[in-house]
Homo-oligomer: A and B are copies of this chain.
């Protein structure tokens, strides 16, 4: 299958590329690197991505920015960071991508454990991740032509523990290669509307 990975240069994206690489033809996309460049916050950029890549069998997104900070200091401008980037950015990939997938193709987005397990400073992440899971549940029942859509919700990655660990006391990180297996299940499996939760 031809698989387009957006966010391919990140910790998670690299692990997903390694997991899928032996089995599929990969096209790696990223904001600053990869076979093709894309800014998921831009309608034009995402449209250009699919125009240049052509039809694919699977679209995998492992990207998106969030706002982290105390709720008491959060205003709607800061809160919009996650809404415009990780949430609407990934939704945009799906909304445009649905028209560029071969029959039976799949979309796999990335949410995260904070949707269910909130932490201090994480309200934006909890909101965005829960939103993506709601989107996947709904989009799954409406996609035609056997198209599927799932989300992977990983806990904190071992490779990112140095950054997020101080905010996530007691959480048990997983190696990115374990999280990557869930993307393989989504791409190569037959389920739709699922949230694959990856925890230790």
Interface residues of A (CB under 8 A from B): 43, 70-72, 74-77, 79-80, 83, 87-88, 91-92, 95-96, 98-99, 114-116, 118-123, 125-135, 137-144
Contacts and interface: CB of A to CB of B under 8 A. Distances in A.
Contacts of A95: 71, 74-76, 79
Given A79-B91, A88-B83, A91-B79, A142 B127 contact: no
Contact of A91 (B76, B98, B139): B76
Nearest to A111: B134
A71 to B, nearest CB: 4
17 contacts: A71-B138, A72-B142, A74-B95, A76-B95, A80-B88, A91-B127, A115-B134, A116-B137, A118-B140, A119-B141, A121-B142, A125-B138, A127-B131, A127-B134, A127-B135, A130-B133, A130-B135
